[in-house]
Chain A
Amino acid sequence: MQGGPENTTTIDERHSSRVTVEINGASRELTLDNRTTLLDALREHLDLTGAKKGCDHGQCGSCTVLLDGRRVKSCLVFAVTVDGRSVVSVEGLAGPDELSPLQAAFIAHDAFQCGYCTPGQLCSARGMLDEVSRGWPSAVTGDLNSPADLTDAEIRERMAGNLCRCAAYPHIVAAVRETAGASGTAATR
């Protein structure tokens, strides 16, 4: 949004691309500098500032969004590579009138303090629960041939890519556990 139109006037056409991407259910068309990351496209061109920039190097997880349903660190994805694909950011997690169970559980368990890593934690947890329901193992999964049981150790391991300096970790684990339990994530395979 801000800076967007000007940006395109100063960047040579050879160095920009037209990108069509579905964001939180709505199709968006953008002309972007080829160097623009998905994170900066969201934050600087679409005013979707929920995804956070904590390190810009894929080391903290604050920018995590869902790309075609899978969690990615949007600071490591060039926006031109998501043409024709689907992105869900934290702004797309809630329904029109109510929070998703995961978001509600984060509030109920006080699973954040400053809130800066929270959108990434939420998107990561959403993607992770889907990975578990598909039976994907993690580094701490004992038996790779049977469904992953979503123990606290599994949650901790699978959420380890999202740093939280306020250290709301045990509350994040509790919120994810409650959400998974309510939806029966671990049981479905």
Chain B
Amino acid sequence: MNKRIESLRDESLRATNRISPERADLITRFYREPETAGFPVPVQRGMALLHLLQNKKLYIGKNELIVGERGPAPKEVPTYPEVCVHSLKDLEVLDTRPKVSYKVDQETYRLYKDEIIPFWSGRSIRDRMFRMLPDEWKQAYSAGIFTEFMEQRAPGHTVAGEGVFRKGMNDLIREIDEAVARLDFLNDGKALSRSEELTGMRYACKALIVFAERYAKALEGLLAEEEDRDRQNELLDMISVCRRVPAQAPETFHEALQHYWFIHIGVITELNPWDSFNPGRLDQHLLPFYEKGLADGSLTKERAKELLQAFWIKFNNHPAPPKVGVTAQESNTYTDFCLINVGGLKADGTDATNELSFLILDVIEEMRLLQPGSMVQLSCKNPDRLIHRAAQIIKTGFGQPSVFNTDAIVKELMRQGKTAEDARRGGASGCVEAGAFGTEAYILTGYFNMPKILELTLNNGVDPLTGIQLGPATGDPGDFRNIESLISAYRMMLQHFINIKISGSNLIEQIWAGQMPAPFLSAITEDCIVNGTDYNAGGARYNTSYIQGVGLGTMTDCFSSIRVNVFETRRFSMDELLMMMKEDFSGYDRELAQLIYETPKYGNDDDAADRHVNDVFEAFFDAVDGRRSPRGATYRVEMLPTTCHVYFGSKVNALPDGRRAGKPLSEGISPVQGADRKGPTAVIKSASRFDQIRTGGTLLNQKFSPAFFKDDEAIRKIGHLVRAYFRLDGHHIQFNVINASTLREAQANPEKYSNLIVRVAGYSDYFNDLTPELQEEIICRTEHENE
């Protein structure tokens, strides 16, 4: 990288994560204005965005090429009190905690104490939600049966489609005006609400134009003082870029990147949507601009690379908005889950890889940044060169890029009812979530703790951690005569709590739809304008709600253990097993060793264990898939944990597979940590035993020591391994290339390893930012050493 990029990158890496009160202050002032209350909610939201972008401080870094920050400076993170208002205690925790801290200054504390908290307490979405949710939901939530994504962050989980790069705000405003003109008050009972929504969208699009114009002016100010000739020319370019985009559709490579970036800032300023926002298929979207620039001589490959690198740094400047409570425990990271997609298929079904795919991979390798995350979409139609290049970067050991199976994603999306073209325009975002980019609101509603359900089943509905009868009495465990009767009781218990979860999500969804629409995100998501309906209310072409199952490996091993040890070999009776679990196996070393080492385990391509992976998956699938939500979405399942398996594990006592109380559950669809003893091919075979096509994403982690990647031939074998998994319909695989002794060393001497990035679960993180439990777990994940 050149000097400019190096210094911008350094600046980004060195910046301290801070809470900025700017947005909270501006939004509070806006809502305090007496006239605000007079507007319909969607119009308020559009006006709010205009107010924010009109008044927020602008930031232009030294020698920056792409401009725009969400906060007043890099890594200064705003808050969203209308969604979730941080208490003074929350701020203090964020300020002082050793991991993933956000510094809070005195002025912020004061502002929160005097202005923000008094105004928003009881009015925030979170407060409203918790007021309305029934006790049974709250009880299950506190017991760690499920989490709820939308209690402090807005629905998001979506990705820009190609339309974003083809239209300017003026085009969208024209579409909005046309939609308003088409409104039919004679026949359409919802015409008024559509009109309000469209008005909100119009304000939001205007807000972006105003924001860019402010930047143009600020750049003019800099130009007046700039003495360096080259920089003067750059500033002139940037001024003209900011005067064109995002008002008009971009025409050059530089404009396309700046255009997207303004839109990105718009989305993440409007609200704090989950998974930030994401340019998605960047090598596809940028190709026309790249080719045009090369052809007319206005762009070189080097310049394109520099602009991409500058673009990369902008993502790294934007840590996730700080979370609180359970959500912070389940997903505690600076990463905000942008996932750039490279490769895959074109809408017509042909190989999409192009020169830019490889240029972007070069950028990923060179930038080595936490954000944005990156992945390679690999279809059977893509060349081996793509996976080979990806494996070379994986080898460098910062957990990127992860690898996704395009053909599986397309099948998953088509099963859900997308057209083939829309499915191929999609990919994966966040951790591993399949989505039709630009056309789908695919909202993750929360993680679901499957082993907790088993624990309740084995205690006839009583939570052993609290003694509370939490679920229905599904039968005395001593009365189960075979594994089938246990599984059928488990299914009853599962359905009970899935119903509670879905009722809660339906309620929460309606609160968002009615009280906190997102007119800007709606304007850029296909069909929201045509439908005159908000993204949060089902306006997108496709609408999905996910529940993410956690603990597949743990569950499979538990069923295997009970079947083999209680019903087949009769090594223990059910009562004996339950008693040992109650004692957390203390005093039962030999029995514990037998449960761990002499019981068939998932991850070894052993039918004796793996047959139960289908019991676990099908039960979860049947309980969730196909249910409808009020906004017209369909509930679907995913199998991914982020870091929730650690939190969930803390809520579950000892289990029949020999896992002790409080320890993490298995993550994603990976085997229980250390239970896979037959290498990566066996893990892949086990993981492909259930039908991944009926999910919206699964996560499989594999850890390799650097020694494995010693030469080109070995790297090719990684490619073969991936291809084989994908032939078996595997959705995603990611590799951690690091040896356990390095990690131990890093744990002991964090100061020496401040830049050590590891793959966690669908994203990478600094090893030092992980909690000790998570560090321990990463070390324990089986290392596939090869002799």
Do the two chains belong together in a single complex?
A: no
